[in-house]
Amino acid sequence: MGKTTDLRKIIPYKPYLLPLAKKLRKNMTLGEVLLWNELKNKQLGYRFSRQIPIDKFIVDFYSKDLRLAIEVDGSSHYHGDQPIKDEIRQKRLESLGVSFLRYDDADVRKNIKWVVNDIYLWIQENGARL
């Protein structure tokens, strides 16, 4: 039972992020909406939340039980210094014990079944270890 308590340990976040997270929930991209429709209501066996503050960042989707963040990257993630910022952000959150899965928005929109299956396989492979 202690194992579950450790996993569900809440990672602190900056309270000033809450209004932005709420705004992002109301303005999700098509890819985020499509993926949320597959993740909500424990359809993959675990609870996911959307646009969740963790540390000083907001992740698209997060499961506390799995300590898994899922990001849907739109075109803005591939320009300028954004890839470097994303890498720094991901490494910081990984240092706090968060695992990451990243998908391109176009892949989510065009091949949602592949994305959901990939997440399912990650859960099958990693969920039992947690």
Which residues neighbour 28 within 8 Å (Cβ) at sequence distance 6 or greater? 36, 50, 51
- CATH code for the domain in which residue 105 is found: 3.40.960.10
pLDDT tens-digit map of 114-124: 999 999 999 99
- The structure tokens listed for 77 are 């993630």
Domain containing 90: what range?
2-129
Cβ atoms of 89 and 17 within 8 Å: the answer is no
Residue 60 contacts residue 25 (beta carbons within 8 Å): no
- pLDDT for residue 130: 58
Pull the structure tokens for residue 7: 């996993």
Which one has a higher pLDDT value, 7 or 93? 93
What is the number of structural domains in the chain?
A: 1
What global pTM score does this model have? 0.86
